[in-house]
Structure 1
Amino acid sequence: MKTDDSSSDASGWLSRLTNGLSRSSQKLGQSLNDLFTQKKLNDETITELEDILITSDLGFTTASKLTKIIKSLKFNQEVTVDEVKATLAAEISKIIEPFTQPITIKTEYSPHVILVCGVNGVGKTTTIGKLAQTYSFEGKTVCLAACDTFRAAAIEQLEIWGNRASCHVFSSETGKDPASLAFDALKHSQEMGTDILIIDTAGRLHNKKELMDELEKIIRVIKKLDNDAPHDRILVLDATTGQNAHSQVESFLDIINISGLIITKLDGSSKGGVLISLTEKFGLPVHAIGVGESAKDLRPFNPSDFANSLLGINSSK
């Protein structure tokens, strides 16, 4: 998943990211402003800082690590809020840097199969459409498999995105066996010499056993055609759910060996900090983040840009 590297495009994305994270940065920034206005950094302010970071969805482990760093650098000194923000942004970037990993399309596979999971409502189908549009723009041939066969709306939505991306969508009547559709989609994609096949799946976590059986069957049958498939197993998470995203990761890890995350709806959330606690807790790479409705609003994850935007720091990078 690549993007236009032009300075205007990069600047536009950074502006959208900053605007998208404005709810998170305003919440965190105001709390920091209130705390560090003409105050020394002492035990009291350190404790308050840790509380602020925890309530900003960074999680206890990350908050504790960051406050210890701030304490070691500036303890018992007067500090400005800008100094605190800059230090926090730099340290957050270091924490999440190891988990930065764009999706890598492997050319030895034809097609490279991406299985996408997520509960209903997280933006899973839209994310698949954005990926398809991005890859098509790069000149790759893409097919989509609408394997959330029990939701007519999901099938229709994927077909709309398929038309936008000029890519073929394998679909069926509502209620067809998802594994059978996935098998047919991969078989025909192989025959067509397609570069990428993206498989949409159901997200009915209220019936975990049924969902587990369904996903396991999809994987089992496509392995009959390609023993290495799926080559990526991506979980899509909605940033607005905050710490509830942790339980979603745990639930899907019980079902499937997730290989990476995509975080959506950062533009509608004051809980952007949850991305940091997710990487620290689960050690899963973040492939991309989304801050809007267009395909350009889904981008590979950049830790420095994210950290600066979360703290409300303007960057020219």
Structure 2
Amino acid sequence: MSFFKKLKEKITKQTDSVSEKFKDGLEKTRNSFQNKVNDLVSRYRKVDEDFFEELEEVLISADVGFTTVMELIDELKKEVKRRNIQDPKEVQSVISEKLVEIYNSDEQISELNIQDGRLNVILLVGVNGVGKTTTIGKLAHKMKQEGKSVVLAAGDTFRAGAIEQLEVWGERTGVPVIKQTAGSDPAAVIYDAVHAAKARNADVLICDTAGRLQNKVNLMKELEKVKRVIEREVPEAPHEVLLALDATTGQNAMAQAKEFSKATNVTGIALTKLDGTAKGGIVLAIRNELHIPVKLVGLGEKVDDLQEFDPESYVYGLFSDLVEKADD
């Protein structure tokens, strides 16, 4: 049974719309990537070295990342030889299978570390302009839809309008926002928020932070102070440190991830604006080269378009046309 057929069976059994959201959100990437792959397989009668060289270029153009592409091509060559595949069209199913394997290649967990019976603290970090505050608002909505009580902390006291922006999301989602005046000590805001969340017996506290990569040393010291306050008030917290990255910036997002992961213990990536890029392969580059799981992806502008990352739904989003045509 082909991987496409197996994937079709799984998608068909799903009772929610997750796979459809990935399909819609990855439309730009799919149209670019799939058209190039279709063109490639239509021009070759057999799978040879020239075919793989062109496939390398297609994958690199999708921002899969050079190192990841080289590993993927090596794996594809071995699998094609093992299965004695001659028809280039059959390689497409193997590509999708290997993409899922790359994402699931180690023990890093893609699910958010949210547990019942405790105050779960989530810290959002990242540079300005990547959609960090919007991600916080959408995450608050998602948590509320799952029946959890949520509190937001306006820890970005530096950027003009950051507190007000978070308040708008608080009103929109019906979630309280703990704030102080602009320019206040972020650690003091987070301290107040932790105690407010405890007093409300909240399930989740989501903390915004300032995004100033150009002032990196001060920012990282500020983050360390915020983390110390959280650790002191809630043992083993923060339970998640999510780095917000803009998928449309491609390899620049990789550079940001490297810098932040050096300076703070990033536990996962919140990849925003994945629907706005034709280079959605950045998901795999981050996962395989930085060993940081992508935990959340932004697949649109609607409040419910923030989704927990699922490798198979992602691959379905890239190859949905072929998956849906898989033999019954």
Same fold (TM over 0.5): yes
Counting only pairs closer than 5 Å after superposition, residues 210-225 of structure 1 correspond to structure 2 as 210-225=218-233
Check the 8 A contact 1:132/1:142 in 2, yes or no.
Answer: yes
Aligned to 1:93: 100
SS at match of 2:42: coil
Task: Note the residue ranges of structure 2 that are not aligned, 5 or more in a row.
Answer: 1-10
The 1-side partners of 2:192 and 2:32 are apart by 48
Contact 2:68 2:289 in 1 (8 A): no
SS in 2 for 1:143: strand
Change (3 A) 1:222 1:8: closer
Is the partner of 2:233 in helix, strand or coil? coil
- 1:56 aligned partner: 62
Query: Which amino acid is the alignment partner of residue 13 of structure 1?
Result: V
Q: Tell me how many residue pairs correspond in the alignment.
A: 309
> What is the rounded CA distance, in whole Å, between the counterparts of 1:296 and 1:58 in structure 2?
27
Tell me, yes or no, if the aligned pair for 2:19 and 2:316 is still in contact at 8 Å. no
C-alpha deviation, 1:100, in angstroms: 4.9
Of 256, 268, 288, the match for 2:264: 256
Aligned position for 1:268: 276
Q: Find the counterpart in structure 2 of residue 31 from structure 1.
A: 36
> Is the 8 Å Cα contact of residues 21 and 267 (structure 1) preserved in structure 2?
yes
Verify: 1:72 aligned to 2:78, yes or no: yes
Alpha carbons 1:90, 1:304 under 8 Å: kept: no
The residue type equivalent to 1:252 in the other structure is F
Name the SS for the 1:175 alignment partner: coil
TM-superposed CA distance for 1:77, in Å, is 6.1
- 2:122 alignment partner in structure 1: 114
Give the equivalent residue in structure 1 for 2:7.
none
C-alpha deviations, 1:193-226, integer Å up to 9, x for none? 1111110001110110111111011112222322
Q: Which residue of 1 aligns with 2:177?
A: 169
Whether 2:242 is the aligned partner of 1:234: answer yes
Secondary structure of 1:295 counterpart: coil
Using the TM superposition, name which of 21-30 and 166-175 deviates more: 21-30
Instruction: Decide whether the 8 Å contact of 2:63 with 2:280 is kept in 1.
Output: yes
The reply to whether residue 44 of structure 1 matches residue 50 of structure 2 is yes
- Runs of 4+ aligned residues of structure 1 deviating over 4 Å after TM superposition are 5-9, 75-78
**TM-score of the superposition, structure 1-length normalised?**
0.90
Deviation (angstroms), 1:79: 2.0
Question: What is the rounded CA distance, in whole Å, between the counterparts of 1:161 and 1:71 in structure 2?
Answer: 49
Unaligned runs of 5+ in 1: none
Residue pair 1:148, 1:200 contacting (<8 A) in 2 also: yes
Q: Deviations over 1:246-287 (max 9, x none)?
A: 111111112211111111111100110011011001211221
Q: Paired residue for 2:8?
A: none
Which letter does structure 2 place at the counterpart of 1:17? F
1:54: Cα distance to partner? 1.6
State the alpha-carbon separation in 2 of the partners of residues 67 and 133 from structure 1. 40
**Normalised by the size of structure 2, how large is the TM-score?**
0.87
Coordinate RMSD, CA, aligned: 2.2
> Residue 18 of structure 2 corresponds to which residue in structure 1?
13
Partner of 2:209: 201
| Corresponding residue SS for 1:296 | coil
Structure 2 contact 296–307 (Cα < 8 Å) conserved:
yes
> Any conservation in 2 of the 1:38–1:78 contact (CA below 8 Å)?
no
AA aligned to 1:255 is: A
